[in-house]
Structures are given as structure tokens and as C-alpha cells.
Amino acid sequence: FSSEKYAVKRKNFGILKSADVEYFKSVLSEDRVLTDESDVLPFNIDWIKNCRGQSKIVLKPKTTDEVSQILSYCNKNRLAVCPQGGNTGLVGGSVPVFDEIVINLVHMNKIISLDDISGALVCEAGCILENLDNYVRDHNLIMPLDLGAKGSCHIGGNISTNAGGLRLLRYGNLHGSVLGIEAVKADGTVVDCLRTLKKDNTGYHLKHLFIGSEGTLGVVTKVAIHCPALPKAVSLGFFGVENFENLLKLYKSAKSSLGEILSAFEMADNKSISLTVENCKLSNPIGDYPFYVLIETHGSDETHDSEKLNRFLSQEMESGLILDGTVTSEPAKIKNIWHIRESIAGAGLINGYVFKYDVSLPLRNYYDLVLTLRTRVGDRARVYGYGHVGDGNIHINVSASKYSKELYAILEPFIYEEVAKVGGSISAEHGVGFRKPQFIHYSKDKTALQLMRDLKQSMDPNGILNPYKVLPDVPDIEKD
Ligand code: FAD
Ligand code: 2HG
Ligand code: ZN
């Protein structure tokens, strides 16, 4: 079990009794209370199969009131809970560690309203991101975020992890796009911050407490989010590049040549693409290159935008920054190229086990760690790097045939030490979850960590919300 792997002790929470199950059945209908072992199993295992919990029960509320009743009961009886969205999280935050009760929001999937003038969408937290994107597209809008897990992840999960994704460069992060939130605190109190205003300086901006707090401060039940206008013209370039130095020069040039229409600047090294193409049986539309860059533009004039991207391609092929590439405005081709990029996350799993690292680094140091790790790991595993260059966020995946303690010890805490040395963040967009609390100090000052503890204590004094996640245990030496 993950708990043994990470040497965590179960805290002194209540143990589920049949009377508790009866209570939950009286609040929810019987079919929304899962207790059968095989029904519960998928909710205990995370997407990358790194973590496995031992929950005995999954609750699927349909309304905020049901969430409130569940939490109020759990708080009184000191029963720990694990809020869960689409269970696509990559840091083990979405699955229980021991026997926490899973509260899965899949049935809270109603769209409440859309103002197609302001772009304000209000919906329940269990709406799937792709469904929302399809819905707002019919009203000439798009969701401000997009990620490979869009077909399964929930907007509530996105908000709780402060997900970044593929178009953050253009539309900013969720702290900017989220207009309002309704959330339920540990004691069942419904906190109503569900406003749709862009400007609202009436005191503390409480919605931000729930953005990125990974289910440790409350269960997000409703969301108001700003949707930008659907771009009339989308073009995509996929380019081969000789080395990382040239890739950075290309990024600088893309910002000045493409200006306001630049919406994504993604990179992948040769190993990322070759492994993905091979394992997922895809085809690479350009040849074999040391690095690949994917540039997308969102604009309002198709001829003008694709001309601009084509001009950029010719100019940079002439300068030598681009070795070869393709530019397209055809939706099917765009989809195929994005599919290669989005498949990298899952491709390594086909070989067995993947250690995943999601870090922010200064751009000058962005790729160094991949090279350092390759030397350190040797032939024990494949190390590859890809990510959101425009956001200074690289994903380093270490793919091996199976989990090994030896490899784990080679990787951690080394990676986090290296990230801290250059002032990076040990979690750029995936969160801290269960996998990183013991490393959070590499990126969070003691005083900031204390304020996090104070907030947790005030909002969830019994600590029932997603225990063992995000916040590290206070070391015995600091307890007095
Ligand atoms: P879950 O995995 O179910 O939960 C994630 C965390 O949020 C957990 O701590 C959980 O307790 C909490 N939580 C979930 N719902 C709620 C709620 N309603 N209230 C309170 N807490 C809640 N992430 C990125 O940032 N960028 C990417 O580009 C990206 N690409 C991905 C690609 C793939 C193929 C996969 C599998 C994952 C990717 N991720 C990415 C990670 C993941 O998809 C995101 O973290 C996503 O936001 C999680 O949403 P979810 O609904 O699956 O949440
Ligand atoms: C991506 O950008 C995701 O593809 C997943 O954030 C990264 O799995 C990973 O390492
Ligand atoms: Zn990512």
C-alpha cells in the first residue's frame, strides 16, 4: 500500500460503522452509496497507479445540501474524507490513503447559467471540462483552460489543483479566470462566494483559498468562471529544433513575431516524442529531431494568422532555429498534432511504472535537470522532459519497468534539492497531494507554511478533509 511505501501512520479518525452507512443511505439514494469492494476499488487507485487507498465507501452526492449533510456528519463523528473529481490528479491527492470516505462529485454535473455577453459560466463542480468546452463553444466562447485529461477531469478538480494546462500562456491561470466559488467547509457550512463579477473588492478574496488547496479546506460545489471568446482562427505549428539553446531563442522570437495571437508554446524532447509515437502507435508528421516545439495561435483572421505563422516558419528556417516543420489551420490536423503532445503523459505507463515530476524552473535552467538525471539514473530507466515552456514549467518523467526503492532514492529528494537551488518550485501545476508534502519546504518558507497550518486549523479543526495531503506533519521537535 502507498501508506507503507511512504511510511505514514493512520491518524486517530473514526472507523466506518454500519450505522454510518445507513445514515449516508438516508441522505443519498442507495445507488449513490457504494460499499461493494469491487465497486469501490477504482476510486481507491489513482490514474498513474502510483497510489492505492483502502476506502470502504464511496458517496456520490447530487446537491450542495447533500455534501453539507455528509460533511457535517463526518465532522461530528471524526470520519475522514477524500474529495474526488475525475481522479486524473498526478500527485495522489484524489485517492484515500487509508479508509477515508470518498466523496465523488460525478453527479454534480449541471450547467446553471451562461452569460454570453460577459462570458460568465456558472456550473456545478462535477462538470467534465470537455463537456463545458463543447457547451460554451456553441455560444462562441471557450474554456480558459485545456489539458490532456479534459475528457475525464472535473472543473472542481481543476480548481482544487489550480490546473494550468496548454493555454495558460494566453488566458492566464485560474486565480484570474475563476469569478466565484461555492464550497462546503468541513463542518458542513456552505460558503457562498458564487459571484460572477470581474471586480469585487469587498474584503478578503476567499475564493482563492479554494483554488489549489486540493480538497484540504473545503469541497468545491459550484463554480463561476470567465470564458474567453472563441477564436475565429486557430493555427498550429509543429517544429523540429537542434538544441535547447535554439529552442529558447525560438521562444523569444515567437513572442515578438506572433505577439498577441500566441496561445501555446510547448516543447518535448526527442525521447518524449519517440516513446509516445512508438507506445501509442501514432505517426510523427515531421522527421526525427532532438527537440520539438508546438506553437498555437488564437486570433480573429485566418488568412492573416496563418500567414503570420508561415512567415515565422520561413524566417526561422532561414535563421536555422527551425530545422523543419509544418503549419496547419485544418482542425483534423491540429487535433492529431495535439494528440501526440497530450499522449506523452500516459505513454510511459505502457512500459510499466513512471516517476513524474512537475516543476517550475527559470528558463535558462529549464532543461538542465533532464540531462543531470539521465547521467544519474543511467540505464535503470528512461528520462524525458516536456512541458509548457511559456510558463517555465517542465514535466520530467522517469519511466521504468516497475517501481523500485533504489530508483526512488536516486531521484528523491535529489530532484527537489536541484529545483530549490535555482529558486524553482517543486510543484508547478499538479499540486502537492500525497506525494510531496514532505518536500514542500523546498519551495515554501516556514512562515508561509505556518499560515497554511493556521488556515487549515481554522477551517477544518478536526482535520477530516483530505488528511495526509499537502501539509506535512509537524516534526516532533517543533511541537512544543
Ligand atoms: P481529481 O484528480 O479527482 O482530484 C485532484 C485533487 O483535487 C485532489 O486533491 C482532490 O481531493 C481535489 N478535488 C477534486 N475535486 C474537488 C472538489 N470538488 N472540491 C475539493 N477538492 C476537490 N494538470 C495540469 O495542471 N495541466 C495539465 O496539462 C495536465 N494534463 C494532464 C494530462 C493527463 C493525461 C492527466 C491524466 C492529468 C493531467 N493533469 C494536468 C493533472 C490533472 O488532470 C489535473 O490536476 C486536474 O485538474 C484534476 O482534476 P480531477 O477532476 O481529475 O481531480
Ligand atoms: C501535461 O502537460 C500534463 O501533459 C501531464 O501536465 C504531465 O504526466 C505528466 O508528467
Ligand atoms: Zn502539464
176 and 129 in a single domain? The answer is yes
Whether residue 251 is contained in a domain is answered as: yes
pLDDT at position 306:
85
Asked if the peptide bond before residue 61 counts as cis, ω within 30 degrees of 0, the response is no
The grid coordinates of residue 200 equal 469585487
pLDDT at 169 over 70: yes
Percentage, residues of the chain above pLDDT 70: 98
Residue ID of nearest Cα to ligand 1 atom 42: 89
Name 269's bridge partners: 291
Whether residue 12 is contained in a domain is answered as: no
- Our CA dihedral for 307, 310, 314, 319, rounded to 10 degrees, sits at 100
334 and 358 in a single domain? The answer is no
Q: What is the ipTM of this complex?
A: 0.99
126 and 195 in a single domain? The answer is yes
Any ligand 2 atom below 6 A from CB of 395? yes
Mean pLDDT of the 408-436 span = 98
Nearest alpha-carbon partner for 272 in 289, 252, 250, 249: 289
- Cβ atoms within 10 Å, residue 396: 22
Residue-averaged pLDDT of the chain: 96
Any ligand 2 atom below 6 A from CB of 397? yes
pLDDT at 473 over 90: no
341 and 361 in a single domain? The answer is no
Any ligand 2 atom below 6 A from CB of 410? no
Out of 2-16, 19-33, 349-363, 432-446, least confident range: 2-16
The number of domains in the chain is 3
Q: Among 188, 210, 226, where does a domain finish? A: 226
Out of 6-10, 60-64, 229-233, 358-362, least confident range: 6-10
Whether residue 450 is contained in a domain is answered as: no
Residue ID of nearest Cα to ligand 1 atom 28: 165
Whether residue 2 is contained in a domain is answered as: no
Query: Which residue among 46, 50, 90, 389 is best mutated to probe the pocket of ligand 2, counting the most ligand atoms within 8 A of its Cβ?
Result: 90
Report the nearest atom of ligand 1 relative to the CA of 152: 52
Which positions ≥6 away from 323 have C-beta within 8 Å?
239, 240, 241, 242, 289, 317
Q: Which ligand is nearest to the CA of 90?
A: 1
CA gap 182, 163 in Å, rounded: 18
CA gap 135, 143 in Å, rounded: 9
211 and 250 in a single domain? The answer is no
Whether residue 379 is contained in a domain is answered as: yes
Any ligand 1 atom below 6 A from CB of 89? yes
Mean pLDDT of the 30-37 span = 97
Classify residue 22 by burial, with Cβ atoms within 10 Å: 0-12, 13-18, 19+.
exposed
The grid coordinates of residue 426 equal 517543486
CA gap 102, 87 in Å, rounded: 11
Domain range holding 203?
Answer: 111-226
pTM: 0.97
pLDDT category at 476 given cuts 50, 70, 90 is: low
Whether residue 280 is contained in a domain is answered as: yes
Whether residue 295 is contained in a domain is answered as: yes
pLDDT category at 479 given cuts 50, 70, 90 is: low
Query: Which residue among 47, 50, 129, 147 is best mutated to probe the pocket of ligand 2, counting the most ligand atoms within 8 A of its Cβ?
Result: 147
270-326 confidence digits (pLDDT tens): 999 999 999 999 999 999 999 999 999 999 998 999 889 999 999 999 999 999 999
220 and 274 in a single domain? The answer is no
Mean pLDDT of the 90-104 span = 98
311 and 395 in a single domain? The answer is no
